[in-house]
Amino acid sequence: MTETSTGTAIVGGRVVPVEGEPIEGGIVLLRDGKIAAVEGPGFTVPADVAAVDATGKWVLPGFIDAHAHVGVSEEAEGWAGQDTNERTDPVTAQVRALDAINPADLGLRDAITGGVLAVNVNPGSANPIGGQTAAIKCWGRTVDEMVLREPAGLKSALGENPKRVYGERNETPSTRLGTAAVIRGAFVAAQNYQAKLAAAASEDSSERSVVDRDLKLEALSRVLRREIPWRQHCHRADDIATAMRMAREFGYELVIDHGTEAYLLADQIAAASIPVIIGPLMTGIDADAI
């Protein structure tokens, strides 16, 4: 479809809007590259608009994948295109998915082909704290052109993956309780960092202390200030309970990623108004990458 300078109307298809019931024989009017109207079959298409016949077809909005690794775990690139996990430290809050997303990744083209036009790209789950996520469009020459929101969250992982990755090295954390302790320790350090900054700011300018910047603690502080959500990878119900417990302790905005056994705690999750993102449902990458 090529849009004219005055607009385009997709007519006659089964239109499924973002909200509301599907419209049989619906019309989607586009002007200046944006949807101007979604109407029923009685709508009169303006004379200056080019019509595209969608009879017998479905017209859907672009899908959004809220948990993806496209761009950082590249298709067909092997080691050279695998940038999902920075496995050198259990706490890598300072790393950003943005810095590893390759706009030329075949996975982004595949996403568009499947109707997914925007994705939230997460670091992987090898580390208890894996790094900052980025919400992007699936097309663009550089990732800077693609950004919708960055950072869009901070990835953390509970359960099997961190304990396996570091347990195989005989390093902390090698257990679930060790993983939770690492995360708590990082948040306490961030609270102390915020307190130092506040104390320095309250001093007389001539005697003001200098607090060295710490990119890890800056990122964690954004979570504590509820500027970005805490994207918590967890599958088992006990890990989900731990995620909720720590969110209560530190007061941050929690989003549960995967939530395989979330149905076992559905009432508690709903009572706390915690979003759950189920998936990715299909993936060809290693388990510790997701």
pLDDT in tens, 44-98: 999 899 999 999 999 998 999 999 999 999 988 888 999 999 999 999 999 999 9
Residue 192 neighbours by CB under 8 Å, 6+ apart: none
pLDDT-derived band at 242, boundaries 50, 70, 90: very high
Q: Flag the least confident range among 79-93, 198-212, 240-254.
A: 198-212
Give the C-alpha separation, 12 to 54, whole Å.
5
Asked if residue 263 lies in contact with residue 244, where contact means CB atoms within 8 angstroms, the answer is no
pLDDT in tens, 97-151: 999 999 999 999 999 999 999 999 999 999 999 999 999 999 999 999 999 999 9
Q: Tokens representing 10?
A: 């997709």
For the chain, list the domains and their CATH numbers. 8-59 (2.30.40.10), 63-152 (no CATH), 166-277 (3.20.20.140)
pLDDT value, residue 203 = 82
pLDDT surpassing 50 at residue 2: no
Could you tell me the strand order of the sheet in which 116-121 lies? 63-68, 116-121, 129-137, 147-157, 230-234, 254-258, 276-277
Closest CA to 127 of 97, 156, 159: 156
pLDDT surpassing 70 at residue 160: yes
pLDDT-derived band at 282, boundaries 50, 70, 90: low
pLDDT surpassing 60 at residue 163: yes
- 133 forms beta bridges with 153
Give the C-alpha separation, 135 to 15, whole Å.
26
Task: Give the distance from CA 223 to its chain's centroid.
Answer: 14
Q: Tokens representing 269?
A: 């999750």
